Amino acid sequence: MLCLCIPAWAQDRQFEESSPDLDFEIPEAEPRKPIEINGYLETAGTAYGRDKGSLLFQQKYIGQDLDDQTYAGDLRAKIEAKAQGDAALAYVRFKAQEQRDAEGWNADGVLEEGFLAFKPTPSMTVEAGKRVMKWGKGYAWNPAAFVSRPKDPDDAEETLEGYGMVDADFIKSFDGPLQTLAFTPVVIPVSEHFNKEWGKPGSYVGAAKVYALLLDTDIDVMFLAGDEAESRAGFDFSKNLTANFEVHGEAAVVFDHEKPLLDSQGNISADRYDAWSFLAGLRYLNSYDTTFILEYYRNGLGYSQTETSEYYSFVEDALAAYQAGNKLPLMKSRRYSQAYSSQNAMEDYLYLRIVQKDPFDILYFSPALTTIANLDDGSLSLSPELLYAPVTNWEFRLKSWFFLGDDDTEYGEKQNDYRVEARIRYYF
Amino acid sequence: MKRIWLFVLACLLSVTPAQAMDGNEFLRQLDKNLYPPSYEMYRKIIDIQPDGTKKEFTLYTVRKGLDKMVALFLAPPSDKNRSTLRLGDNMWLYIPSVGKPVRITSLQSVTGGIFNNADIMSLDYSAEYNCEDMREEGDTYVLKLKAKSNAVAYDNLVMVADRKLGLPLRIECYAASGMLIKTLYFKEIKEFGPGFHRPSVLETDSPLHKGYKSIMVFAKIQKRDFPDEVFTLNYLPSVEGLRR
């Protein structure tokens, strides 16, 4: 033991001499600052290749003489501020965007999150304010994310806007096969000014999640019910099978879900049923540092191929009626475009993302290829991307999206054939 | 008089040369020499590219016992507030923009440099490896270590350790195929507290990334106890609140 107390004369000076320009000081090791402000500024240029023959393009732009290509320039900023004490936290995140496209300038800003948190002990947290609470284990989709807005599977890691809520977190750790148990209750009040998506002013939504780390497996069970919201129940899990192989899954049911339908004759109806959704996925890292993320998604809320074909058939007839001077059917079809043309509005999807880290020995360079295939109609989107961050706080991304499919398919009828975006982001 | 002789004998036993230990015993002692049982610390990772370009990351890390660890990125701003949790063989990454922890593998690299998650979130060597062979070479021991499970990032290690100090000097990390993945060099022994001396710099290079070098600098390794609940997914977004 005495030998272990040998003083620093045993230091290896050779290393210090060989690295004279390295700064070994760690200024961040100083006490925490009470207020911190961070964020990013970014600029992006995007080219869109219009598919002027597609149904959805004609549905939106019929009668307009537009170019085959269009361009947009964006300036975006995300700013977050945090004031932190020992047991309390105040947090705000604001996102602003200024876009210049063929139609002119558009400015937009949104408070994504703004809440107060009280953390008297690591076992308990109470929060109130606008909050993003993401549930579920899926990378591209989360059918069990009951209290958050749907994310964009094409940019799954971007921040979202939250809902106004009061929530809490109670955590307990154990020794043995059950290592963690946590309970997260959430209350979402509805008023005239916020959370209107959830019902009439004065109504409430209640949700809860129970998390367990059991036998090295993450397991969540979640519920949601409300005065006007459709009741839901869900489950997810995630587990590492080996050091480079992870599996995950989600299941959710929306009880007595009402799905609006518009048939080929323009008749409006609603289908009521218990909508079950499933997701099964894996994440695999090979010896070449290539990451594969593969997910199958069964969207129980989505439209079948028959239902979608009926809608497309009505849009086709509506376009013909428009040419003949009757605008009403087209206006009717547009009212349903949000439901039928939103992202991944059909039933069966496959997601594959392949990311190669540092290829050709280029550090901080990550090319990736992402595809989302609609298994019902055989159409797909293909997104190659190059991400490079060679300089601290600077990130360069070139990403494109190609939409491939026949007539009357989801990706074949998109308004654009392709989209290419070059983006520069600076973090501060 | 008999008591005095017993005391002298006990003292002699306490400084018995390490060769009297078996490999696993030496490994356990080496772990104790590297870290207190429960602690917090700050680390800076410096990635150096062949053209001399550098990128630096700062982490705040807390650890408890043999299998619980959290690391939080404090700098640069592009990575700030990312945090990684390790509970035994389980590892998660929390990215604020993603908003929820996702499971990751120990072979991935959080920073993009030569250090991967297994290096940044390494537990005690004796917790992850069995010593299969230990031999003396001058002032050093050379230990051959074999991973206890396939969840460990490197299948086997060859560790060269200082016999007197009971500290590692160099570790070669091999895949199960026998391929050398990287070599870790422990340097700059410093005093982190009364009687607590250990390397303050860990350097690595890899035949898979020729010309690149990564350095990890340790600072403020201090004993501190934490509740178990700190090492949970739910607490991951709140780790910075532990800093004083």
Instruction: Mark which residues 52-81 of B lie under 8 Å from A by CB.
Output: 53-56, 58, 60, 74-78, 80-81
Cβ–Cβ contact B89 with A under 8 A: yes
CB A157 within 8 A of CB A353: no
Q: How far is C-alpha B175 from the chain's CA centre?
A: 18
Placement of tokens 């002789």 in the chain: B5
Integer-rounded Cα Rg, in Å, for chain B is 19
Q: What is the pLDDT of residue B20?
A: 46
Determine which of A17, A24, A78 to mutate to test the interface with B (most B C-beta atoms within 10 Å). Answer: A24
pLDDT tens figures, B203-227: 998 888 788 889 999 999 999 999 9
State the residue for tokens 């004609």: A58
For A155, name the nearest residue in chain B, comparing CA atoms only: B98
Task: Please indicate if any CB of chain A lies within 8 Å of the CB of B120.
Answer: no
Q: A249 to chain B: which residues are within 8 Å by CB? A: none
Per-residue HEC secondary structure of B31-97 comes to HHHHCCCEEEEEEEEEEECCCCCEEEEEEEEEEECCCEEEEEEEECCCCCCCEEEEECCEEEEECCC
Interchain contact A216–B (C-beta under 8 A): yes
What do you get for the CA distance between the two ends of chain B, in Å? Answer: 52
Among B42, B103, B113, select the one facing A238 at the smallest CB separation. B103
For A427, the closest of B46, B77, B113 (CB atoms) is B77
Beta bridge partners of A118: A88, A126
Q: Is residue A157 less than 8 Å (CB to CB) from chain B?
A: yes
Residues in B touching A238 (Cβ below 8 Å) = 102-103
Which two three-digit tokens encode residue A189? 């009040």
Interface contact A325, partner B, CB < 8 A: no
The alpha carbon of residue A182 is apart from the nearest alpha carbon of chain B, in Å, by: 7
Q: Which of A10, A182, A361 sits opposite B165 (nearest CB)?
A: A10
Distance from CA of B120 to the nearest CA of A (A): 15
- Contact (CB, 8 A) for A391 and A427: no
Counting Cβ atoms within 10 Å, is residue A311 exposed (0-12), middle (13-18) or buried (19+)? buried
CA distance B192 to B40: 12
CA distance B92 to chain A (A): 10
Q: Determine which of A391-405, B28-42, B86-100 has the lowest per-residue pLDDT on average.
A: B86-100
> What is the token pair recorded at A408?
């009357």
Kindly state the percentage of chain B with pLDDT values over 90: 59
How far does the CA of residue A34 sit from the closest CA of chain B (Å)?
10
CA distance B4 to chain A (A): 19
Q: Measured between alpha carbons, how far is B62 from B68 in angstroms, rounded to an integer?
A: 8
At residue A21, the pLDDT reads 63
Cα separations in angstroms, A105 against A48, A51, A75, A100, B167:
17, 24, 11, 4, 63
CA dist., res. A59 & res. A316, Å (int): 9
B187 lies within 8 A of chain A by CB: yes
Question: Which residues partner with A173 through β-bridges?
Answer: A180
Both tokens assigned to B54:
């550098």
Report how many Cβ contacts below 8 Å link chain A to chain B: 212
d(CA A384, CA A276): 32
Q: Which residue has the tokens 């700059």?
A: B188
A124 in Cβ contact with A168 (< 8 Å) = yes
pTM as predicted: 0.87
Q: Do B112 and A389 touch (CB under 8 A)?
A: yes
Nearest Cβ partner of B243 from A32, A89, A243? Answer: A32
- Contact: A243, B106; criterion CB under 8 Å: yes
**Which ranges of A84-209 would DSSP assign to H, the alpha helix?**
none
Phi, psi of A314 (to 5 degrees): -65, -40
| pLDDT string in tens for chain A (428-residue length) | 333 333 333 334 444 444 546 677 887 778 888 899 999 999 999 999 999 999 999 999 998 888 999 999 999 999 999 999 888 999 999 999 999 988 899 999 999 999 999 999 999 999 999 999 999 999 999 999 999 999 888 888 888 999 999 999 999 999 999 999 999 999 999 999 999 999 999 999 999 999 999 999 999 999 999 999 999 999 999 999 887 899 999 999 999 999 999 999 989 999 999 999 999 999 999 888 899 999 999 999 999 999 999 999 999 999 999 999 999 999 999 988 888 988 889 999 999 999 998 898 788 899 999 999 999 999 999 999 999 998 889 999 999 999 999 999 999 999 999 999 999 999 99
pLDDT at position B12 over 70: no
The interface predicted TM-score of the complex, written ipTM, equals 0.85
